[in-house]
Amino acid sequence: MAVFLQSLISGILIGGVYALIGIGLTLIFGVMRVVNFAHGDIMMVGMYLTYLLFTLMGIDPFVSVLISFPLMFFFGGFLQKVFINRVLNAVSQNQILLTIGLGLIMSNTVMLIFTSDYKILTTSYSSSTIQVGGGVSISAPLLISFLITAAITGALGWFLLKTDTGQAIRATAQDRDAAQLMGINVSRMSVIAFGLGAALAGTAGALISPTYYIFPQVGGTFTLKAFVITVLGGMGSVVGATLGGILIGVTESMSAVYISSGWKDVVVFVLFLLVLLFKPSGLMGKSRT
């Protein structure tokens, strides 16, 4: 029972960070209908930004979120304004090729600057655990990451539901043409949405840095996870992305303990295919008519 609880708690904690990645991607897709294959590489940039802030300025990875979030927001806004905006009305193949190209540019630029060597961000609490009784312990970095993720997700929910800009973003995601007819500046909403998506990805990179290797090609792994989470939860659904991230985290954790760590990704994709087979719109998605 202790092993089960340990796996469940660990899965929920890491799933919270996965959810943050998925929320960023689903926000971008919901507003612009752009499939962002550079999402994981944007997260990778956030990881290296956190690494630089820690090694050069001694700023704690979790505190660095206060710096990396706005910087990644402006970086995402720049990408949308200069590159993504040019293919919004193009065929989906062009959008895919552009975002793949942007991802390659980011990963290779980082490789040129930092080399392909793995970086490890070691803090005083990287290996710390909190005993909760019954032989169950919680990783301190993962617990802190989860709490910060919960706070950011709650703040994002409040922003989308209670502010004029947030409601305009939701209106644009629901019907872009109708939103424009109602006087909403959909171009500005696209910049804000992509900026928020990039900021959330960069923040997820900062939160996972103390417990994960940092290297230029790490983005590919998380791009794949982000797509699985987004489709699993329902394309364009923030709540679905949150549930999808936690579900993927728990599935990975349970699979690693009860089957094999080498099979955890296989189990995740089997679950993904089963959801697509029986509920193609995702757990929280709505079928489009």
174-184 pLDDT tens trace? 888 899 999 99
* pLDDT surpasses 50 at 130: yes
pLDDT at 247: 92
Q: For residues 217 and 179, what is the distance between their CA atoms, to the nearest angstrom?
A: 38
By the 8 A CB rule, do 148 and 207 touch?
Answer: yes
Instruction: Tell me the mean pLDDT in the region 43-57.
Output: 96
**Residue 102's closest CA among 41, 173, 46, 25?**
41
Question: Which pTM does this prediction carry?
Answer: 0.93
Residue 56's pLDDT is 94
Per-residue model confidence (pLDDT) at position 287: 55
The model's confidence at residue 131, banded by pLDDT at 50, 70 and 90, is confident
Residue 134: left if φ>0, alpha if ψ -120 to 50, beta else—which one? Answer: left
**Least confident among 60-69, 139-148, 233-242:** 233-242
Per-residue pLDDT for 89 more than 60? yes
